[in-house]
């Protein structure tokens, strides 16, 4: 019988080879609480507390789309943050809630909300899992009378039986688990890998046209846009997370606005509606003083959070009150130096040429993620 002379050597080699594989596998395997989520090109890595928990995402999605979370079974999160409308409501300047009641702010798009340090236009909330209770309990939004009533209602729904227990290690329906599930789903709404990212971070020279590259130069240079809508060396969220007075809030508060809203009926087709007409069938807008309501610091009056600009092409209308309908309107607004605020101009007039303005808009449209654009169909 021939004994393989290599066997004594082969066994230890094999064992050590497999143990290397095993150790590699253990260390590369994400912790069970992490979703194996690929971070799109151009976004920073998610820190542990920002990551969605895989077992909770489907449940969170079910809750997000469920109209039975509103007191009268008619309103879900997804009806104001509409998946096919850039996770906002393209047709309403300010959101429309319970029984047609108007809110005084525009529904923010929820792209990349996982990274936000503060939530809402005034930053009054800091925890995504807590945030959900604001719309759930607001009489203008989902109008539930109490936390307990929401918990009881979900406990009573047949199709939720066992889902919370599976997602949360036997913990059932509660204020915490409802908020955490919704947060996990929203943390998966990442938007990156736009043509801008492929050009800037992926070094693909042909990903942007010359006009778009010129628009980027205006954005980062003459337009000073990137001082607040920041772009980092390795990633960009297009927001510094801070609060600024651009004049929009003050302008509306003193009634200097046009008192006319442009409403888009079909692509490129707008009608103008006077606010006094609107107020005959909905409540007049409440005064909005922005960040001041959170800090009570007079310098924060009429200041609002810098929004991220990813998918901005899809998330019209713009600003905290939805008062600017198109990206061309936004660029025009900045070119004039924003609106006056209490006598001060916070933004300076830019003196952009027609070509610079057009290229800036073209650049803003290069921040769109192809998959999100494919989903976007506001006029379906
Ligand atoms: C009636 C429309 C409406 C409904 C329903 C609604 N929202 Fe909103 N949402 C808004 C508006 C308007 C704001 C901004 C409010 C503000 O800044 O004061 C907002 C803000 C947010 C924010 C903050 C985003 C940011 O970038 O600061 C998150 C997150 C959010 N909503 C998630 C939800 C979830 C989860 C639900 C369901 C439980 C929900 N929304 C239901 C209209 C709505
Ligand atoms: C001083 C900081 C600052 C600068 C500079 C700045 N922005 Fe903004 N931007 C903001 C803030 C704050 C808002 C939100 C204002 C509001 O909600 O009323 C905003 C809103 C926007 C929006 C609307 C986004 C949305 O989802 O509603 C766009 C688009 C935008 N900015 C583009 C630009 C461009 C283009 C420039 C350069 C010409 C620029 N910004 C310069 C702070 C800034």
Q: What is the pLDDT of residues 208-242, one digit of tens each?
A: 999 999 999 999 999 999 999 999 999 999 999 99
Nearest residue (by CA) to ligand 1, atom 11, is 107
Contact call for residues 128 and 183 (beta carbons, < 8 A): yes
Nearest residue (by CA) to ligand 1, atom 5, is 77
Q: What's the Rg (C-alpha) of the chain?
A: 25
- Whether 121 is in the pocket of ligand 2, judged by its Cβ within 6 Å, is yes
Do residues 268 and 291 both lie within one domain?
A: yes
Contact call for residues 101 and 283 (beta carbons, < 8 A): yes
Show the tokens assigned to 261.
């809203």
Segment 243-257 shows an average pLDDT of 80
Do residues 159 and 237 both lie within one domain?
A: no
- In this predicted structure, what is the pLDDT of residue 254? 72
Report the atom number in ligand 1 closest to the C-alpha of 98. Answer: 1
Asked, for residue 26, whether it belongs to a domain, the answer is no
Q: Residue with structure tokens 């009489």?
A: 139
Do residues 239 and 295 both lie within one domain?
A: yes
Nearest residue (by CA) to ligand 1, atom 39, is 77
Do residues 340 and 234 both lie within one domain?
A: yes
Q: Which residue has the higher pLDDT, 346 or 159?
A: 159
Asked, for residue 38, whether it belongs to a domain, the answer is no
Contact call for residues 110 and 60 (beta carbons, < 8 A): no
Asked, for residue 24, whether it belongs to a domain, the answer is no
Do residues 222 and 366 both lie within one domain?
A: yes
Of 135, 164, 186, the domain-final residue: 186
Report the atom number in ligand 1 closest to the C-alpha of 79. Answer: 5
CATH of the domain at 204: 1.10.760.10
Residue 194 has pLDDT above 60, yes or no: yes
Task: Please state, in angstroms and as integers, the Cα–Cα distance from residue 322 to each residue in 120, 158, 279, following that order.
Answer: 14, 39, 17
- In this predicted structure, what is the pLDDT of residue 98? 81
Show the tokens assigned to 279.
């107020």
Cis status of the peptide bond prior to 317, with omega within 30 of 0: yes
Asked, for residue 37, whether it belongs to a domain, the answer is no
Question: What is the residue range of 109's domain?
Answer: 48-186
Residue 13 has pLDDT above 90, yes or no: no
Q: What is the pLDDT of residues 33-42, one digit of tens each?
A: 455 788 999 9
Asked, for residue 52, whether it belongs to a domain, the answer is yes
Contact call for residues 214 and 305 (beta carbons, < 8 A): no
Q: What is the pLDDT of residues 60-78, one digit of tens each?
A: 999 999 999 999 999 999 9
Do residues 345 and 280 both lie within one domain?
A: yes
Segment 312-330 shows an average pLDDT of 95
Which of 106, 229, 320 is the best mutation target for the ligand 2 pocket, counting ligand atoms within 8 Å of the beta carbon and taking the most? Answer: 229
What is the 134 CA–ligand 2 centroid distance (Å)? Answer: 25
Contact call for residues 338 and 247 (beta carbons, < 8 A): yes
User: CB neighbours of 194 closer than 8 A, spacing ≥ 6?
Assistant: 42, 310, 366, 367, 368, 369, 370
Do residues 224 and 331 both lie within one domain?
A: yes
- In this predicted structure, what is the pLDDT of residue 280? 58
Of 186, 219, 235, the domain-final residue: 186
Do residues 266 and 332 both lie within one domain?
A: yes
Do residues 148 and 217 both lie within one domain?
A: no
Q: What is the pLDDT of residues 149-158, one digit of tens each?
A: 999 999 999 9
Burial letters 334-350, b for 16+ CB under 10 A, else e: bbbbbbebeeeebbeeb
- In this predicted structure, what is the pLDDT of residue 22? 43
Reported as a pLDDT band with limits 50, 70 and 90, residue 261 is low
Residue 263 has pLDDT above 50, yes or no: yes
Asked, for residue 29, whether it belongs to a domain, the answer is no
Asked, for residue 204, whether it belongs to a domain, the answer is yes
Do residues 153 and 299 both lie within one domain?
A: no
Q: Which residue has the higher pLDDT, 217 or 16?
A: 217
Residue 174 has pLDDT above 90, yes or no: yes
Do residues 62 and 148 both lie within one domain?
A: yes
Of 148, 169, 186, the domain-final residue: 186
Cα dihedral: 260, 267, 320, 59 (round 10): 140
Residue 259 has pLDDT above 70, yes or no: no
- Total structural domains in the chain? 2
Reported as a pLDDT band with limits 50, 70 and 90, residue 267 is low
Asked, for residue 23, whether it belongs to a domain, the answer is no
Residue 130 has pLDDT above 80, yes or no: yes
Segment 10-23 shows an average pLDDT of 45
Segment 13-24 shows an average pLDDT of 44
Residue 269 has pLDDT above 60, yes or no: yes
- In this predicted structure, what is the pLDDT of residue 11? 44
Residue 9 has pLDDT above 60, yes or no: no
Do residues 118 and 171 both lie within one domain?
A: yes
Residues having CB within 6 Å of any atom of ligand 1: 75, 77, 79-81, 95, 97, 103, 105, 107-108, 110, 113, 116, 119-122, 128, 131-132, 135-136, 141-142, 182, 186
Reported as a pLDDT band with limits 50, 70 and 90, residue 91 is confident
- In this predicted structure, what is the pLDDT of residue 283? 54
Contact call for residues 171 and 177 (beta carbons, < 8 A): yes
Q: 287, 311, 288, 325: which is closest to 372 by C-alpha?
A: 311
């Amino acid at each position: 019988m021939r004994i393989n002379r290599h066997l004594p050597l082969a066994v230890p080699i094999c064992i050590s080879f497999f143990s290397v594989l095993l150790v590699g596998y253990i260390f590369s395997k994400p912790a069970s609480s992490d979703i194996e989520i690929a971070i799109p090109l151009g976004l920073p890595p998610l820190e542990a507390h920002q990551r969605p928990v895989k077992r909770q995402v489907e449940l969170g999605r079910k809750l997000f789309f469920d109209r039975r979370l509103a007191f009268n079974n008619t309103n879900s999160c997804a009806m104001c943050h509409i998946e096919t409308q850039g996770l906002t409501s393209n047709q309403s300047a300010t959101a429309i809630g319970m029984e047609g009641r108007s809110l005084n702010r525009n529904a923010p798009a929820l792209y990349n909300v996982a990274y936000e340090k503060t939530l809402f236009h005034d930053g009054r909330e800091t925890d995504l899992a807590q945030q959900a209770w604001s719309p759930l309990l607001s009489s203008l939004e989902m109008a539930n009378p109490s936390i307990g009533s929401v918990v009881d209602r979900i406990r009573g729904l047949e199709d939720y039986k066992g889902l919370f227990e599976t997602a949360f290690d036997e913990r059932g329906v509660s204020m915490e688990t409802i908020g955490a599930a919704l947060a996990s789903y929203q943390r998966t709404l990442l938007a990156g890998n736009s043509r801008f990212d492929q050009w800037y971070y992926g070094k693909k020279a042909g990903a942007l046209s010359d006009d778009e590259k010129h628009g980027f130069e205006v954005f980062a240079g003459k337009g000073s846009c990137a001082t607040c809508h920041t772009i980092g060396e390795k990633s960009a969220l297009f927001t510094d997370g801070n609060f600024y007075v651009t004049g929009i809030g003050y302008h509306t508060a003193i009634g200097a606005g046009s008192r006319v809203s442009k409403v888009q009926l079909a692509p490129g087709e707008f009608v103008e509606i006077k606010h006094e007409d609107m107020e005959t069938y909905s409540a007049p807008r409440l005064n909005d003083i922005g960040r001041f309501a959170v800090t009570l610091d007079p310098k924060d009056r009429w200041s609002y959070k810098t929004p991220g600009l990813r998918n901005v092409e899809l998330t019209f209308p713009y600003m905290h009150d939805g008062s600017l309908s198109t990206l061309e309107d936004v660029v025009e607004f900045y070119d004039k130096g924003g609106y006056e605020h209490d006598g001060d101009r916070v933004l300076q007039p830019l003196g952009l040429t027609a070509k610079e303005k057009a290229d800036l808009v073209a650049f803003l449209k290069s921040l769109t993620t192809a998959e999100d654009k494919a989903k976007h169909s506001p006029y379906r």
